[in-house]
């Protein structure tokens, strides 16, 4: 069973007119994509902004490979190592916010990640669907659990009733 953890928060903007940086930080935090360790990078929002800028540039130039960021590039924007970035990428992938892709550049195969949509909004709509599907599946399990508990209680009651009837029928009649 795949381990997927969603850490959604309810943080709100600190001002009435937040700038793009604050909104990007807010989105990353609300989606649970911020580092969880104390002293970790607080620059993860820069990856989101760069993915968005690359997607726009790619559409404008009609060159899909421009939308792709390698793990090294993502790590550089976040101010962390490539290996550490791989750990964060798992969460981004779990939400379907980014998609892994490959392209050939100067005869080399380049593996990287791009925003999973034509716009930032499209990518977040896909993430919303992923979270919603997860919650709907969990609700099915909750209903199944509830029915299972009911059946177990009915079964237990029936067993107790049957055993008490058997015991009472085995008692000798008193004069």
| Residue boundaries of the structural domains of the chain | 20-146
DSSP string, 140-161: HHHHHHHHHHHHHHHHHHHHHH
- Confidence at residue 41, expressed as pLDDT on a 0 to 100 scale: 67
Global pTM exceeds 0.75: no
3 state SS of 107: coil
- Confidence at residue 173, expressed as pLDDT on a 0 to 100 scale: 56
> What is the chain's pLDDT, residue by residue, as a tens digit (175 residues)?
556 666 777 778 888 888 888 888 888 888 878 766 655 667 889 999 999 999 999 999 999 999 999 999 999 999 888 888 998 898 899 889 999 999 888 888 989 999 999 999 999 999 999 889 988 998 998 999 999 999 999 988 888 887 777 776 666 655 5
Distance separating alpha carbons of residues 173 and 170, to the nearest angstrom:
9
- Confidence at residue 38, expressed as pLDDT on a 0 to 100 scale: 59
- Confidence at residue 22, expressed as pLDDT on a 0 to 100 scale: 86
Altogether, the residues listed in the chain come to a count of 175
Nearest to 71 by CA among 55, 57, 87: 87
Q: Which residues contact 81 (CB under 8 A, 6 or more apart)?
A: 75
3 state SS of 115: strand
**Separation of first and last alpha carbons in the chain:** 65
The answer to whether residues 96 and 129 touch, using CB atoms and an 8 Å cutoff, is yes
Distance separating alpha carbons of residues 115 and 117, to the nearest angstrom:
6
Distance separating alpha carbons of residues 10 and 113, to the nearest angstrom:
27
| 20-146 topology per CATH | Arc Repressor Mutant, subunit A (1.10.10)
């Amino acid at each position: 069973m795949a381990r997927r953890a969603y850490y959604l928060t309810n943080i709100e903007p600190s001002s009435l007119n937040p700038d793009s940086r604050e909104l990007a930080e807010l989105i990353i935090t609300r989606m649970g994509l911020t580092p969880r360790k104390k002293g970790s990078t607080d620059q993860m929002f820069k990856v989101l902004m760069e993915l968005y800028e690359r997607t726009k540039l790619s559409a404008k130039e009609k060159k899909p490979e421009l939308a792709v960021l390698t793990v090294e590039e993502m790590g550089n924007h976040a101010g962390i190592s490539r290996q550490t970035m791989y750990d964060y990428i798992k969460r981004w992938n779990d939400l379907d916010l980014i998609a892994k892709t490959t392209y050939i550049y100067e005869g080399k195969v380049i593996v990287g990640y791009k925003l999973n949509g034509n716009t930032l909004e499209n990518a977040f709509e896909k993430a919303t669907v992923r979270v919603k599907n997860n919650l709907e599946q969990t609700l099915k399990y909750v209903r199944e659990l509830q029915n299972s508990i009911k059946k177990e209680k009915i079964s237990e009651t029936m067993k107790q009733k049957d055993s008490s009837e058997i015991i009472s029928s085995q008692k000798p009649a008193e004069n």
